[in-house]
Structure 1
């Protein structure tokens, strides 16, 4: 993945073991979100990887969805997870081995896939494009490696839909700035269909899920971290941050806390 902003901890060079641990914890927590699970199930259904096919999972993270692809294509097929982060890739390999999965994992760049033209039947890519400054180029690469008739599914977040409540309008604006500037392409979710069409693919279906944060199990380090960053950037004062956290804590205690963001998925195929 080329030239992500320094705030993107998914950059391949960011291999600190402590950082890897935080990434894995975040990915596992996200995987447990009901909205993520529903959208992933929809995406696998649309991708419809079949026995004997060749499938690729770009930016596979912990490899959980590569394992799903491996089960679908069976012993006669191939399921490859592409992951540039060495810590995540090592974890994906270990988890696949422990599960007895045939999933394979490779180092590689979404902007220069290490595969020949028209090599694959199915490609999925989840929450990668938001970390790229040139997502259209990455989608063109996905299209390049698909055979005629091959299918692709892209899933990504649209951080402009981020909501944290309760917070005053001014504070909401500051928090939105922090969240959106943490991604190279914060509105990636809404761009998926356009990038696929631009790469010569035909869009077949679109889906979305609002990812809700359970007020009974708030990830407070994440929430507080946004406030800390807003103070560091001079967007809010320490007093405003403290008032925000007090209000959010009180809201969570009475079940009135709200944190959400919308994630989109688009299924397409290569004509021919």
Structure 2
């Protein structure tokens, strides 16, 4: 088996099938949140995909935004999702077929996009840079494939903004600290500007959105991913994990749960 690409623990080469299924669940849960929908809406409005354009979704995941781009560029345009995880790519292809979408998906890495120079009108890249040890290389790749005047929407999480309440503060800190360790670039959100400007792109707008979970529902895919990681890493015991889960469940039952993290977005273009 070939070595995994130099990204994060979320890369397919570092994930089991069960972990991939859990990641799909986490991505779907995040996509359903009002905060993600608002930030995506802002970014799509600013990106302003036009019929006939060529759009690329870097790190397409389950393909939701590739499908949105395909609808915007229409039958005379082209929307390609670049996704290195074959499990996620298969889900994206199945969902595109079910929606009769023209979106297509290819294997590829953000650090070496399988695209020609200056051949893309617009790039969407969401929650990818947090998984990259060398995000500046990915920004340079985006700049390389954009045509002069081409636009990019770059969105990512800043995991240092994670808040989880209630629970034993030490246990919660272990989980939020685990989120920082799980991402190769946990402060990605605050670094988007420097990544894009460092690649020679011009910034047009900046946005942010706190992703506040429903106070009556525990986002179990994410919580369990962090909790089990903290147990495996020896940061907390199984008993402490169970006690935290009980606290969160009780808080959700009375509508008093708080779980949030902040995402940031930057819109930019390549100078003409």
For the 8 Å contact 1:55–1:78, the answer to whether it is kept is yes
Aligned length: 269
Q: CA deviation at 1:101?
A: 1.0
Unaligned 5+ residue runs, structure 2? none
For the 8 Å contact 2:178–2:229, the answer to whether it is kept is yes
Q: Which residue of 1 aligns with 2:154?
A: 154
1:3 and 2:6 are equivalent in the alignment = yes
Q: Which residue of 2 aligns with 1:270?
A: 270
Q: Which residue of 2 aligns with 1:199?
A: 199
For the 8 Å contact 2:210–2:260, the answer to whether it is kept is yes
Mean Cα displacement is larger for which, 139-148 or 162-171?
162-171
Change in Cα spacing, 1:231 to 1:95, as seen in structure 2 (3 Å) is closer
Whole-Å separation in 2 of the counterparts to 1:87 and 1:124: 20
Q: Determine helix, strand or coil for the equivalent of 1:156.
A: strand
Change in Cα spacing, 1:226 to 1:74, as seen in structure 2 (3 Å) is closer
Mean Cα displacement is larger for which, 170-179 or 90-99?
170-179
Q: Which residue of 1 aligns with 2:77?
A: 77
RMSD of aligned alpha carbons: 1.9
Q: Which residue of 2 aligns with 1:223?
A: 223
Q: Which residue of 2 aligns with 1:144?
A: 144
Whole-Å separation in 2 of the counterparts to 1:231 and 1:15: 17
Whole-Å separation in 1 of the counterparts to 2:23 and 2:183: 15
Mean Cα displacement is larger for which, 224-233 or 262-271?
224-233
For the 8 Å contact 2:215–2:256, the answer to whether it is kept is yes
Q: Which residue of 1 aligns with 2:28?
A: 28
Change in Cα spacing, 1:153 to 1:248, as seen in structure 2 (3 Å) is same
For the 8 Å contact 1:47–1:122, the answer to whether it is kept is yes
Q: CA deviation at 1:239?
A: 4.7
Q: Which residue of 1 aligns with 2:57?
A: 57
Q: Determine helix, strand or coil for the equivalent of 2:13.
A: coil
Deviation sequence 1:18-68 (CA, Å, 0-9, x none): 333222222111111111111111111111111111110001111111111
Q: Which residue of 2 aligns with 1:173?
A: 173
Q: Determine helix, strand or coil for the equivalent of 1:109.
A: coil
Q: Determine helix, strand or coil for the equivalent of 1:263.
A: strand
- Report the TM-score, using the length of structure 1 for normalisation: 0.92
Whole-Å separation in 2 of the counterparts to 1:128 and 1:242: 31
Q: CA deviation at 1:135?
A: 0.7
Q: Which residue of 2 aligns with 1:127?
A: 127
Q: CA deviation at 1:98?
A: 1.8
Deviation sequence 1:93-121 (CA, Å, 0-9, x none): 12112211111111111111111111111
Change in Cα spacing, 1:233 to 1:99, as seen in structure 2 (3 Å) is closer
Whole-Å separation in 2 of the counterparts to 1:47 and 1:108: 23
1:257 and 2:254 are equivalent in the alignment = no
For the 8 Å contact 2:150–2:270, the answer to whether it is kept is yes
Whole-Å separation in 1 of the counterparts to 2:144 and 2:130: 20
Deviation sequence 1:152-207 (CA, Å, 0-9, x none): 01011100000111134433332221111111001101111110000000111011
Whole-Å separation in 2 of the counterparts to 1:166 and 1:75: 49
